[in-house]
């Protein structure tokens, strides 16, 4: 998974349409990718939402930070 792929998966996650296998791929990317490090904490929150809920709801503050990151 590349950073662009991660961004797309995060969009899916925001829409509540992320597959369980994608959650695992996201976690793997975050463990390995330094480029995503500054958002790592937020992504960890998302990964937890992945595991805890079939239809995760992203906290608004996290959503805004990710949208800012994707807009760069
Ligand atoms: Zn990355």
Per-residue confidence in pLDDT tens, the chain, 72 aa: 888 888 777 777 666 666 777 778 877 887 888 887 666 667 667 667 666 766 556 788 888 898 899 987
CA of 2 to the centre of ligand 1 (A): 6
Residue pair 14/70 in contact by the 8 Å Cβ criterion: no
Domain count, the chain: 1
Range of the domain at 17: 3-71
CA of 53 to the centre of ligand 1 (A): 24
pTM of the model: 0.47
pLDDT confidence of residue 30: 78
Residue pair 29/50 in contact by the 8 Å Cβ criterion: no
CA of 63 to the centre of ligand 1 (A): 17
Among the listed residues 13, 53, 15, the one whose alpha carbon sits nearest the alpha carbon of residue 29: 13
pLDDT confidence of residue 56: 54
């Amino acid at each position: 998974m590349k950073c662009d792929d991660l961004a797309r998966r995060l969009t899916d996650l925001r829409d509540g349409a992320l597959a369980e296998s994608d959650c695992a791929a996201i976690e793997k990317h975050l463990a390995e990718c330094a480029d995503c490090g500054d958002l790592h904490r937020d992504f960890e929150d998302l990964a937890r939402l992945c595991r805890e809920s079939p239809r995760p709801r992203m906290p608004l503050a996290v959503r805004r930070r990710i949208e800012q990151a994707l807009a760069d």
